[in-house]
Amino acid sequence: MADRPVDPKGPKMTIPTQLVLRAMIADPTKEFYGLELGQLAELASGTIHPILARLEGCGWVESRWEDQDPREIGRPRRRYYQLTPGGVAYGARALQRVRTPAAMLARLVPRPVTGGGC
Amino acid sequence: MTTVDRPLRELHRVLRDATTNADGVVRDLERSITVATTPDEKRVRELLSGRDFRSEFVREIDAVLEALFILDTDFAVSLSRDLDRLLERFSVFDAGLRSMRGQAALRGLVDELRGMAGVVESELAPLERVEISPGVVPAGSVDVRTPLLVGRRLLEDAVRLLPVTHQARYREEFLAELHVLVGSEASGWAQLRYAVAIAGRVWTLRRALRVMSPVGERVR
């Protein structure tokens, strides 16, 4: 995993981004693969990877390949994502700032993400 | 399918027509499901006898694929919304099979519907190119289950729209997730829906990757 500088401002806090961050911060040391994280955050499949790419670009998330030989496991390797220490700290602060109740987030239908920082 | 010479707006119209037609197909299917729970086999057969579901589904899905071949245009986002809508309707097909499963009186009908789904998938299979990923499972390896061919093709087409330096990564990552769905016994429709969702948002991913790319990296 190549270290990226952490951007304290992070990406634009869209609702889908908040949902992803909340899911990851709930278990900050856990590694997730994209589909799994999308299901946890209740986001459509195509929505999760652009968000993860932005979070990774900001240094809030890092990713690595599953440590398995595809020939042995009989399938391609999964890509695992995990919050960086900076991502945990800045992400928690960012979520506090937006003050969108989690219950409200859960009811909203996520829309495709556009724009954003980093 | 030869679509490259067709005007893009015409293709968009084709997709919209397909969506409208699919509405009719699914509406009939929904009616038959409702009746099937009664269950009144005679009534279900009456409802289904007037339609050739197989050819209709093949035609509609063919239109979807045709439209997806122009993903490298600005229509990609609006097309993907239409595709989501269309595939959502096809999911009723799955629901129909589930609701009728286990009803002895309707076993023949369920088998018939399941056969239709199989035919649709097998007719789509020749559209697939052979090898799409360095991570493809070699013959004789541990897991012989492979994702739906058309789903893999859609993902491959979508990945080609990403910056070249990111293509290998996302090709393997998306295919791995498709394998997760296969491993969880997801239906062919669920796999197709996943691939369409990825393909439909590939421009958003591309924008995100361009931002995070190292300075000076050229994006195709």
Strands laid side by side in the A61-65 sheet: A32-33, A79-83, A61-65
Asked if B161 and B206 count as a contact pair (C-beta separation under 8 A), the reply is yes
Mutate to test the interface with B, among A75, A77, A111 (most CBs of B within 10 A): A75
Q: What's the pLDDT score for residue B82?
A: 54
Q: Which of A4-8, A12-16, B126-130, B145-149 is most confident?
A: A12-16
Q: Which stretch of DSSP H or E encloses residue A82?
A: strand A79-83
Could you report how far apart the first and last alpha carbons of chain A are, in Å? Answer: 19
pTM: 0.58
Q: What's the pLDDT score for residue B175?
A: 93
Asked if B54 and B124 count as a contact pair (C-beta separation under 8 A), the reply is no
Name B65's Cβ contacts closer than 8 Å, sequence gap at least 6: B1, B124, B127, B150, B154
Q: Please give the ipTM for the structure prediction.
A: 0.84
Peptide bond into A76 cis (omega under 30): no
Distance from CA of A82 to the nearest CA of B (A): 15
In angstroms, the CA B6 to CA B30 distance is 34
Q: What's the pLDDT score for residue B166?
A: 93
CB contacts, 8 Å: B183 with chain A: 75
Mutate to test the interface with B, among A39, A45, A65, A69 (most CBs of B within 10 A): A45
Distance from CA of B106 to the nearest CA of A (A): 34
Whether the per-residue pLDDT at B173 is higher than 60: the answer is yes
Task: Give the tokens for residue B115.
Answer: 């056969």
If you average pLDDT over residues B43-69, what whole number do you get?
52
CB contact A6 to B (< 8 Å) = no
Per cent of chain B over pLDDT 70 is 28
Task: Give the tokens for residue B38.
Answer: 């009664």
Whether the per-residue pLDDT at B102 is higher than 50: the answer is yes
Asked if A58 and A117 count as a contact pair (C-beta separation under 8 A), the reply is yes
User: Given an 8 Å threshold on Cβ–Cβ distance, is A116 in contact with B208?
Assistant: yes
CB contacts, 8 Å: B141 with chain A: 71-72, 74
pLDDT tens for each residue of A17-66: 999 999 999 999 999 999 999 989 988 888 999 999 999 999 999 999 99
A4: number of Cβ within 10 Å: 17
**In whole angstroms, how far apart are CA B52 and each of B16, B58, B61, B116?**
21, 10, 14, 10
